Amino acid sequence: MENFRAFIIKMKAFDLVIIIFFIMLSIVNLIFLEKISVWDQLIIINMGVISLILIITFLEEKYNSRLVTIFHYWYIAPLVLLTFKELYFMIHPIRPQDYDWLFIKIDYWIFGANPTEVLQKIAFPLLTELLQMIYGIFYLLPIMLCLFLLRNKERVVFEYAIFSIIYGFYLSYIGYFALPGVGPRFTLHNFEMINVQLPGLWLTNYLRDFVNIGESISPGTLNPAAIVQRDVFPSGHTMITLLVMYLSVKLKSRSKYFFIPVGTLLIFSTVYLWYHYVIDLAGGALFMIFSVWSGKYIFNWWQRYVGQEEFHYENIKLKDKNGR
């Protein structure tokens, strides 16, 4: 037992979150194996991810290699996308009913109209082009924040930011199981006509195709609403973008001057571009608040358990441009 504890205390807090989440996914696959056609392959992948984390932890401790340490911090970037695609094979078979009807009803009750249809009245190609480009850099925002913090902050601040982001992503993924949906581009609008009814300028169509492929919709797909990823509620784009904006302010990073305006436009783009209902944004905001509140307790609990420095906002010190 002592040897086991001596090993696991070398893991980071974000390692713990990932291992627990992939164990949970494996359990869900086993429970619903009759509905998930590739359940065995997904479990093998999950065990592979957990094994990778254990190997990285072992190598970092044994060889104290800078290269291994860098990989330890950055392996989660592709892992977020891998997890996202695993959910594609799980959510719809387990939860075949979509709840777009509920989201539409709530939006209409609040606004007396469908917000995406209202915003279409003010749409013009240049704005659409700009917002589609901003929407497309979503996954870069957390990476950019971590790069800013890596240069100018202490290790515990950097690790807390990584933990907060991966924890936030995985909380939003859990939400997708609760209330699956496909979004207004399939329910309130004609998906096949989006390039005509909401045109951009030069890059919009290509960027849309890129987003569609990421959600398992290849060009020319028949009945895309039937196969698209169920990732509407809560809005992960809203949740993680708000989290990045919040962290950039609370961690006293100069990057806030970039993330606040860009993040605001990105959140607006989720409705303007027909990806989300407004209630999805509200859900994303609530998930973000819960993530920030609970995440700090979990992170500091683990830091105490492994004998590492706890994180507290009031202890953050500003450094000059030379990092001193």
pLDDT tens digits for 172-210?
Answer: 999 999 999 999 999 999 999 999 999 999 999 999 999
Cα(122)–Cα(59) distance, rounded to whole angstroms?
55
pTM summary value = 0.92
SS3 state at 11: coil
Output 150 or 106, whichever has higher pLDDT.
106
Measuring CA to CA, which residue among 170, 31, 44, 169 is closest to residue 94? 31
Structure tokens at 173: 């993924």
Closest Cα to residue 230, out of 79, 124, 42, 87? 87
Q: Which helix (H) or strand (E) holds 82?
A: helix 76-88
- List % helix, strand, coil for the chain (3-state, nearest 5): 70, 0, 30
Q: What is the average per-residue pLDDT within 153-170? A: 91
Q: Please, which residues have CB within 8 angstroms of residue 150's CB and are 6 or more apart in sequence?
A: 158
Residues whose CB is less than 8 angstroms from the CB of residue 316 and which lie 6 or more positions away in sequence, other chains included: 153, 157, 251, 252
Tens digits of residue pLDDT in 261-320: 999 999 999 999 999 999 999 999 999 999 999 999 999 999 998 888 888 887 776 554
- Report the pLDDT value the prediction gives residue 319, as an integer from 0 to 100: 53
Whether the per-residue pLDDT at 252 is higher than 90: the answer is no
Q: Which two tokens stand for residue 60?
A: 């970092």
- How would you classify residue 177: left for phi > 0, otherwise alpha for psi between -120 and 50, otherwise beta? alpha
Residue 191 DSSP class: G
Residue 304: CB atoms within 10 A of its CB come to 11
- Out of 57-66, 117-126, 216-225, least confident range: 57-66
pLDDT in tens, 17-76: 999 999 999 999 999 999 999 999 999 999 999 999 999 988 887 787 888 888 898 899
Residue 176 — φ and ψ, nearest 5°? -60, -30
In single-letter form, the type of residue at position 321 comes to K
pLDDT score, position 58 = 87
In order of 48, 59, 74, 87, 154, the CA distances from 67 in angstroms are 21, 10, 11, 31, 19
Q: If pLDDT is split at 50, 70 and 90, which confidence band does 1 have?
A: low
| % the chain with pLDDT above 90 | 77
Q: Which amino acid is at 36?
A: I
Q: What is the model's pLDDT at position 176?
A: 95
The reported pLDDT for the residue numbered 317 is: 65
Between 12 and 2, the higher pLDDT residue: 12
Instruction: Answer whether residue 94 shows pLDDT above 90.
Output: yes
CA distance 69 to 65: 6
| Average pLDDT value for residue range 234-257 | 95
How buried is 169 (Cβ within 10 angstroms: 0-12 exposed, 13-18 middle, 19+ buried)? buried
Q: Mean pLDDT over residues 142-150, rounded?
A: 90
> Residues 6 or more apart from 288 whose CB is under 8 A from it?
168, 238, 239, 240, 242, 243, 246
Backbone angles phi, psi at 183, to 5 degrees: 100, 160
Q: Is the pLDDT of residue 235 over 60?
A: yes
